A = this chain, B = another copy of it.
């Protein structure tokens, strides 16, 4: 698109750094860099500082592996959460999504991925052993497997189910079915078929 090295090495460096971020191509990166040049110096300093702080100071919760500003995350250190339930999720965003619903009061366990032979990701690449260690300490009565309903998600659910079986606790998965606000005619056959099979008593909220 252009020869920025001719214009400014510093601009080129910033464009290169922005371009390495996901979803940001060279054109967007240039736009971001030129935008920052037009802002107050404070604005750019603030962005730079928050990036540095984020990477240097954010840690992973020693219990649930969620990102956190302290060794124990706000969920694990909250005495009001139900310590008898652990919800197993693939990643940090899933915790955020479930937290945002405000419908879950137990603890979490972030696997940090999902079993995917095609990507070479096996159980040993995930935080499975730390989960077993948490269950081994006792006090947990239910494990909720809240994984994606993809092939990999189902495989991981099955693997964990077998691993957990020895602990004699309730293993549940999140309900599958037609989403709220979905129109039946646009719902895929598999989802619709299973959701008719697994029909539930009508409960007006």
Interface residues of A (CB under 8 A from B): 1-4, 6-11, 13-14, 16-18, 20-24, 28, 30-37, 39, 41, 43-58, 66-69, 73-75, 92-93, 95-97, 99-100
25 A-B interface contacts by CB (under 8 A)? A1-B100, A2-B97, A2-B100, A3-B99, A6-B99, A7-B95, A8-B58, A8-B69, A10-B50, A10-B57, A11-B67, A13-B53, A13-B54, A14-B54, A20-B47, A37-B54, A41-B55, A43-B55, A44-B51, A44-B55, A45-B52, A47-B48, A47-B51, A48-B49, A48-B51
Q: Kindly report how many copies of this chain are found in the complex they form together.
A: 2
Cβ contact of A50, chosen from B2, B17, B30, B49, cutoff 8 A: B17
In the complex formed, the residue of B with least CB distance to A55 is B44
In the bound complex, what is the Cα–Cα distance between A51 and B11 (angstroms)? Answer: 9
**B10→A54 contact, CB < 8 A:** yes
**B30→A67 contact, CB < 8 A:** no
- Within the complex, what minimum Cβ distance (angstroms) separates A52 from chain B? 5
A20-B43 contact given A34-B92, A48-B48, A51-B51, CB 8 Å threshold: yes
